[in-house]
Amino acid sequence: LKAYTANTAGTVRLRSPNISDAPIVDFRYFDEGSPGWEADLDAVVAGVRFVRKIGDAMGDLVAEEEEPGRHRLSDAALRDYVRDNAWGHHACGTCAMLPRDREGVVDSRFRVHGVPGLRIADASVLPRIPGYFPVAAVYMIAEKAADTILEDLRLGTARPRRNTPEAVAPPG
């Protein structure tokens, strides 16, 4: 119903100082972050109404609408349903590969800014969600990160963590 959004900035916040507590994740699914912020939500509601018209035109070929259900007629009821039931599972960008002054977390070699020896190589480094199904982009990130790490080891520019076997043992 809605493929891509201008919204690229959800949040991940610590719930408490306890590392066992799950973080608070707000995907901002239905918030464009601009005037008229309900644009995403309204687009999905319009999509539901459009699909209902298609179903109605099909007559007896469609037995009944299971979800959101014909009892949800108003835009407000449909918005509530969508808000409570829509979800996604391709979170990206929480550790974007951008310069530090642009709120980036990792550099172009997957190194975490200011944390020697730590790299991130997953969908979190994508500054923008690449579309519906980011698996190809994640495979490319993994391949590039592996090549980059191996190159850094060959060149002697890798920054292993201190006091680990990797820090004192030669590569290979």
- Distances in Å between the Cα of 149 and the Cα atoms of 18, 93, 158 are 31, 21, 7
Six token digits for residue 102: 């642009």
First to last CA, the chain: 51
The answer to whether 71 is a known catalytic residue is no
Q: Which distant-in-sequence residues (6+ apart) come within 8 Å of 75 by Cβ? A: 42, 45
Q: Which of 71, 89, 90, 113 is catalytic?
A: 90
Q: How far is CA 79 from the centre of its chain?
A: 22
68 upstream amide cis, omega within 30 of 0:
yes
- Check: CB of residue 155 under 8 Å from CB of residue 109: no
What is the residue type of 61? Answer: L
Instruction: Write down the residue that tokens 């099909």 correspond to.
Output: 58
111: helix, strand or coil: strand
Which residues are the active-site residues? Answer: 90
